[in-house]
Amino acid sequence: MRLFVNVDHVATLRQARRTVEPDPLTAALLAEKAGAHGITVHLREDRRHIQDDDVRRIRQAITTPLNLEMAAVEEMVEFARAVRPYQVSLVPEKRQEITTEGGLDVRGQFDHLRQVKERLSPLGIRFSLFVDPDFDQIDAAARLQADSIEINTGQYSELSDPGAIEQERVKICSAASRAQERGLKVFAGHGLNLANVRAIAAVPQIEELNIGHSLVARAVYTGFERAVSEMLEAVESVE
């Protein structure tokens, strides 16, 4: 199992002040130091967190693969062609949404996605599609000859009823098997945290997880005491 760490929300915090910290690049380097297998960033069309220059700086500085999440639009395709990340993960994007709300309609957008693939794959950029655990979408991704799919675990993560969680887990397992049978590599992500990740990590076909928000949230808790202590020390050292 590989862990790709999404550093978007480090940039969210920086953008709250339009300043230089916290820097998602610093977070990416710390994630690598901790053993992360790759770094993920989502360059949204509204640039609400990650900025173009963050992607370039992270691409230059990290030693693990960079996974660029983006919408399948011309501007982003051009950007990806210039930056050449290890992998592009296409996601649906709505400007009003707080976060990615569901998987791609690969079947409905088949021709468009094929054109996008034709502009990325020849450059050696791996082509991944974020999809719901839905056989129709997985079969369409296989027909498109995507390298991989990322199964959307957003629904799984939002549920609280144990029976419903189990049902969704089974759906994810079936989707993962279906994708592997059709020659796709299988990744998963969205909404995963320390409490719900184990059942997903246990799905044998899933090779890679993308996790962001819960890591940044946890980092605030684990780091806050030290940050306050350092500040008190500075304040109290004044004669």
Q: Of 54 and 238, which CB lies nearer to ligand PXP in the complex structure?
A: 54
- Asked if 9 is an active-site residue, the reply is no
41, 58 contact by CB (below 8 A): yes
Smallest separation (angstroms) from ligand PXP to the CB of 187: 8
Q: Of 171 and 213, which CB lies nearer to ligand PXP in the complex structure?
A: 213
User: What are the structure tokens assigned to 57, written together?
Assistant: 């700086």
Buried b (16+ CB within 10 A) or exposed e, 101-124: ebbbbbbebeeebeebbeebeeee
Smallest separation (angstroms) from ligand PXP to the CB of 215: 7
State how far the Cα of 89 lies from the Cα of 106, in Å rounded to an integer: 13
Q: Of 205 and 210, which CB lies nearer to ligand PXP in the complex structure?
A: 210
State how far the Cα of 123 lies from the Cα of 208, in Å rounded to an integer: 22
Selected catalytic residue, list 9, 93, 168, 190 = 190
- Asked if 112 is an active-site residue, the reply is no
DSSP lists the bridge partners of residue 69 as 42, 89
Burial of 60: CB neighbours in 10 Å, binned 0-12, 13-18, 19+? exposed
Smallest separation (angstroms) from ligand PXP to the CB of 41: 9
Q: Of 8 and 132, which CB lies nearer to ligand PXP in the complex structure?
A: 8
Selected catalytic residue, list 42, 49, 93, 168 = 42
- Asked if 69 is an active-site residue, the reply is yes
At residue 206, what are phi and psi to the nearest 5 degrees? -80, 125
Residues that bind ligand PXP (CB under 6 A): 6, 8, 42, 69, 89, 91, 99-100, 130, 150, 189-192, 210-214
State how far the Cα of 36 lies from the Cα of 191, in Å rounded to an integer: 18
Q: Of 117 and 190, which CB lies nearer to ligand PXP in the complex structure?
A: 190
Q: What is the largest CA-CA distance in the chain?
A: 71
Smallest separation (angstroms) from ligand PXP to the CB of 136: 19
Selected catalytic residue, list 49, 69, 93, 150 = 69
Smallest separation (angstroms) from ligand PXP to the CB of 154: 7
State how far the Cα of 191 lies from the Cα of 220, in Å rounded to an integer: 17
Catalytic residue set: 42, 69, 190
